[in-house]
Amino acid sequence: MTPLEYERLQGFPDYWTLPSKYDVDDDNTDTLRYTAIGNAVSVPVVEWIAKRISKQLSSKTDTMEQKDVLSMFLNSRSQNGIVEILLI
């Protein structure tokens, strides 16, 4: 796959990781782009998570107050803790 295809999979605009003073066809530039894309987070996934957190914080539940939900999120250090919050 090309860096452009990886950018699209991550939700980035085309050539987002291409530095302005580099050539598109340079192999060294591709290596830098692959690294940047690999170290990034997927934009659509982050948007989805943020919307779920916002929705949860804006709606009151019978069992938890908004501050309790936020506290759970801030105190969770594992991926499972975040998934549990999103599924509430």
**C-alpha of 34 from chain center:** 17
- Positive/negative CA dihedral, 24, 42, 9, 27: positive
Dump pLDDT digits (tens) for 4-57: 999 999 999 998 888 877 766 677 888 889 999 999 988 899 899 988 888 877
> What per-residue confidence (pLDDT) applies to 85?
53
DSSP assignment of 42-53 equals -HHHHHHHHHHH
